Chain A
């Protein structure tokens, strides 16, 4: 091995160490942010109360919290903790599905919403809310959003499939068409809802307020399994991002892999949108930043996106529930802050490195 080559291999090792260090640092930051977030809120609860409630609930020891009033226990365990878990899971899910969509669509600017799954979810939710307004059926919104998401995904895949082959270009086109139609459908429902339009609008803005343990339990399996599959088959995703022909020549069945990842990423997106509404930019910015700042290798990119996505959405949700007098929907906040940040990132990177 020449001097130059051993220099390179030393720098490769240094970079591997850097990735591990960043991973550990982010993980610690996530834990810190979670703990910090539970303590934060309008109701003034001491760290002592917060930690005792959490520990006693987790260990199942009621006697530790006998001196704490029920409503304070409920604020910690039934209001704050599920909301925080929801934020972390949705942030992680959106960031990872963003990374997957970028690879399978071969577009570093794709995000979980590019193929219209989110609009499908929004449409489903809008129907449920609309029916609730006028029929007093009290339909649950989340399952309707899920049905909408999977319905639109099926439609997009059916349109995109030609001669049994799904290409990334066709997926994007089909996604845009289906998304536009469903957006118009949402607008129709909004206008038909008349003065009750606020309920629909509010859901569409994306919020994590009053999310329950039920929501966490819905998110958990999808996000854990989705992230697990993507990490396990990360190198296959690398190869997919080179394009369908290249993937084939390197021994990856592009159609099978496309279908697997389309399903994984869409399921994650669907569940995230069903629970949290449309929360923009997390799924674009997190993988994009790691990709261009650190590495494109999905074996590193995806685990880091999982953690960083969780942190980012949790922090944004903290700001949305605490900083202002009126709660700002977190979806509005992420886009309001994420958009300009992305512009800055995009302009700084220059040289057409999109």
Chain B
């Protein structure tokens, strides 16, 4: 369980986030939605312990996230960031293997059983087809799938995804979300995903946090929060909701 309490945060002394409270339980997938600049990435940085809020606390399973050593934190919480551009020619397989790093002792190599597990994960995400290709040479969507596979290899109870699906084609986006959902349902993990795709968020989330200019505009069960009215207030667009299926966006 990840809990943010009374978070206040300022950029250059200008208050940006004002009394934010978020609670994410085990076994649920929570999406964070909101327009650009509404504070989604800031929230990600706060809830992963990267940034310290001016006020308030972040607790992971009851302990203050800033008191957890970096290595231990990486065993309990994994993060896929936006634009995790890799400049160096590692193979996709090597990138996925790095997910094991927090669990390995220094100088210990990867044994054959672990290699097999990595291959299984890569088959699941269909990244095995380009396992030997360089991460610098695959497409943006493929690279995102590789990084998501690394998240699976890191195998943490809490997973934070910051626009992890943005460059994927629609079929792979659905596949990867299904895989993440299974992690939630079968392994009782928590997934927090910042997303832009309203339909995907609607179809896969248990709960939704709707953000607007640094604050939570609405929060709760997906169906209750994702209403045409709320979406209009946050995004300024008119949508038609088809219950249980998704949204049609009206362009005029």
Q: Please say whether chains A and B are actual partners in one complex.
A: yes
CA distance A102 to B123 in the complex (A): 32
Evaluate contact between B132 and A249: CB separation under 8 angstroms: no
B86 within 8 A of A: yes
Is B48 in contact with chain A by the CB < 8 A criterion?
yes
| Number of residues on chain A facing chain B (CB within 8 A) | 36
B57 at the interface (CB under 8 A from A): no
Contact of B136 among A107, A232, A252, A353 (CB under 8 A): A353
Residues of B within 8 A of A236 (CB): 106
List chain A residues, Cβ under 8 A from B120.
Answer: 1
Q: Within the complex, which residue of A4, A12, A103, A251 is in contact with B102, where a contact is CB–CB below 8 Å?
A: A251
Given the complex, which residues of A lie within 8 Å of B86, measured CB to CB? Answer: 242
Tell whether, in the assembled complex, residue A249 and residue B74 are in contact, meaning their CB atoms are under 8 Å apart.
Answer: yes
**Stretch from B76-84, B169-177, B193-201, B222-230 contacting the other chain:** B76-84
Complex Cα distance A235/B103, Å? 13
Closest residue of chain A to B79 (Cβ to Cβ) is: A249
Contact with B along A214-250 (1 / 0, CB 8 A): 0000000000000000001101101101110110111
Q: How many contacting A-B pairs (Cβ < 8 A)?
A: 95
With a cutoff of 8 Å between Cβ atoms, the chain B residues found around residue A12 in the complex are 93, 115, 132
Establish whether residues A252 and B70, one from each chain, have CB atoms under 8 Å apart when the complex forms. Answer: yes
Whether B154 contacts A5 by the Cβ 8 Å rule is no
Cβ-defined contact, A250 with B90, below 8 A:
no
Q: Does B218 belong to the interface (CB within 8 Å)?
A: no
Report whether A8 and B119 are in contact in the complex, using a CB–CB cutoff of 8 Å.
yes
Q: With A and B bound together, what is the CA distance between A303 and B250 in angstroms?
A: 60
Is B20's beta carbon under 8 Å from chain A? no
Q: Which residues of B contact A212 (CB under 8 A)?
A: none
Question: Within 8 Å CB of B107, what residues of A?
Answer: 232-233
Identify which of A235, A242, A291, A353 contacts B84 (C-beta below 8 A).
Answer: A242
Chain A, range 241-284, C-beta contacts under 8 Å to B:
241-243, 245-246, 248-253
Q: Does A52 contact B (CB under 8 A)?
A: no
A251 to B102 Cα, complex, angstroms: 5
Proximity string of chain A (271-308) to chain B, C-beta cutoff 8 Å, 1 when within and 0 when not: 00000000000000000000110001100000000000
Q: Which among B81, B85, B115, B129 is the interface contact of A249 at CB below 8 angstroms? A: B81
**Interfacial residues of chain B within 93-110, with CB under 8 A of chain A in the complex:** 93-94, 98-99, 101-102, 104, 106-107
Instruction: Assess A239 versus B128: contact at CB under 8 Å? Given A5-B123, A246-B84, A291-B89.
Output: no
Question: Which A residues are in CB contact (< 8 Å) with B111?
Answer: none
User: B50 touching A291 by the CB < 8 A rule?
Assistant: no
* Neighbouring B residues of A232 by C-beta, 8 Å: 106-107
CB neighbours (8 Å) of B132 from chain A are 8, 11-12
Chain A's nearest CB lies how many Å from the CB of B116?
Answer: 7
- Chain A residues with CB below 8 A from B85, complex form: 243
A238, B90: Cβ atoms under 8 Å?
Answer: yes
From B50, B72, B75, residue with most partner A Cβ within 10 Å: B50
Determine the chain A residues whose CB is within 8 A of the CB of B93 once the complex forms.
8, 12
Contact B131 A8 (CB under 8 A): yes
Q: Are A9 and B84 in contact (CB under 8 A)?
A: no
One of A5, A108, A251, A297 near B71 (C-beta < 8 A): A251
B69 to chain A minimum Cβ distance, whole angstroms, is 8
Tell whether, in the assembled complex, residue B89 and residue A292 are in contact, meaning their CB atoms are under 8 Å apart: yes
Residues of A within 8 A of B73 (CB): 251
Q: Which residue of B lies closest to A301 (CB)?
A: B88
Q: Which 3 A-B pairs have the closest CB atoms?
A: A251-B74, A251-B102, A251-B71
- Some 19 contacts from A to B, beta carbons below 8 A apart, are A5-B119, A12-B93, A102-B88, A235-B104, A236-B106, A239-B98, A241-B87, A241-B88, A242-B84, A242-B86, A246-B81, A251-B74, A252-B70, A252-B71, A253-B70, A292-B89, A296-B89, A296-B94, A353-B137
